[in-house]
Structure 1
Amino acid sequence: MPTPERTTLPAIVTSARELLEERGAAGVTMQAVAERVGVRAPSLYKRVRDRDELLRLVAEDAASDLSRRFAATDGTITELAHAYRAFARAHPMSFRLVLDSDAAAGAFRDVADPIIAATKSLEAARLVTAWATGFLTMELAGAFRLGGDLDEAYAFGLETIVAGLDRAR
């Protein structure tokens, strides 16, 4: 009789993503994931080739999460930008991993398509994404040290960019 399966690939990816958020990318080790899912580390290799593949799967899962958040919006630049910020604030380490083009390249098109559709051009999508990513990276790093309301600052920046794009069309 074959040995029963003790874990699944979705459980492994979920556990790895939890570890990513708790400990950062360096904390996502095969040993730590194995302990989290209740198996020995060698058992993970039945499902995942190596740590690089595991991080790729985690990045794809995070990108899918972001895509679902985008799909739940009305598809406007404003709503997409707010969903992007909510994702980054809820999952800061996943946000950083999704930006790693090597790790998330396979899933990135699903994230990019709604932004391109909302902005109506790749150039405009890059502008919005670069601004929002820069803002969020600084926010998550605690780099805004001059005080003020970051929610208001984000809304102001977003409104300014949307208005500029509207004028440019």
Structure 2
Amino acid sequence: MPTPDRTSLDAIVLAACELLEHDGVAGLTMNAVAHRVGVRPPSLYKRVESRDQLIRLVAEATLTELAARLDAATSPRQLANSFRAFGHERPAAFQLVMAPGAGIPVAGIEFGVAASASILRVAGELAGEAHALEAARTLTAWAAGFVGMELNGAFQLGGNVDDAWQFGVTHIVAAISMP
């Protein structure tokens, strides 16, 4: 008689997401996830074939969560603030999907498309549909760069970083808005 399943793919991905935040990508191992969900490592391979697949599943779950948060935004400022809040709440996951680094598996394109939908919608409202993609890329690049610098402690010149964020959002929105 086969042994009953002791864990689910959802539980595995959740455990992997938690490990990512606690131990970073280097600590995201099959053994660590198996231990966290209470199974032996060989049992984990029944659900996830490799560490690369595990990292990809974490990236996909991250983009799914980010998409849901951004979908709730009703204004450009709220969208940007939701993006930043996500980065602060899930810094390792944010960096995994925004700047994965060489050799790190990435999410399937459909997850990136879903996470980009709200940004494209807002960018289209600001810049017009003909320039939505360019405006979305500008907004995303600025916000991801700013949040990445925050997470890495790169703002060392003093001043209020929250004020700088608000200044940036105001001016990026103005810059990509149609006259």
Shared fold (TM-score, shorter chain, > 0.5): yes
What is residue 114 of structure 1 aligned with on the other side?
Answer: 118
What is residue 105 of structure 1 aligned with on the other side?
Answer: 108
What is residue 163 of structure 1 aligned with on the other side?
Answer: 174
What is residue 139 of structure 1 aligned with on the other side?
Answer: 150
Q: Is contact 2:52-2:105 (8 Å) kept?
A: no
**In 1, Cα distance between equivalents of 2:11 and 2:47:** 11
Q: What is the SS of the residue equivalent to 2:4?
A: coil
Q: Is contact 2:12-2:37 (8 Å) kept?
A: yes
Q: Is contact 1:119-1:125 (8 Å) kept?
A: yes
Deviations 1:121-169 (A, max 9, x none): 1000010001001101110000000111111110000101111222x44
**Quick check: 94-103 or 105-114, which moved more?**
94-103
Q: What is the SS of the residue equivalent to 1:10?
A: helix
Would you say 1:94 and 2:93 are equivalent positions? yes
Residue identity in the other structure for 1:156? F
What is residue 14 of structure 1 aligned with on the other side?
Answer: 14
TM-score normalised according to structure 1 size: 0.94
Deviations 1:65-122 (A, max 9, x none): 1011112221x22111111000000000000111239512331001111111111110
Q: Is contact 1:97-1:104 (8 Å) kept?
A: no
Q: Identity percentage over the alignment?
A: 50
Residue identity in the other structure for 1:149? N
Q: Is contact 2:59-2:97 (8 Å) kept?
A: yes
What is residue 80 of structure 1 aligned with on the other side?
Answer: 79
Deviations 1:14-48 (A, max 9, x none): 00010000010010000000000000001111000
**In 2, Cα distance between equivalents of 1:2 and 1:105:** 33
Structure 2: gaps spanning 5 or more residues: 125-131
Q: How many equivalent pairs are there?
A: 167
Runs of 4+, deviation exceeding 6 Å: none
**In 1, Cα distance between equivalents of 2:56 and 2:79:** 24
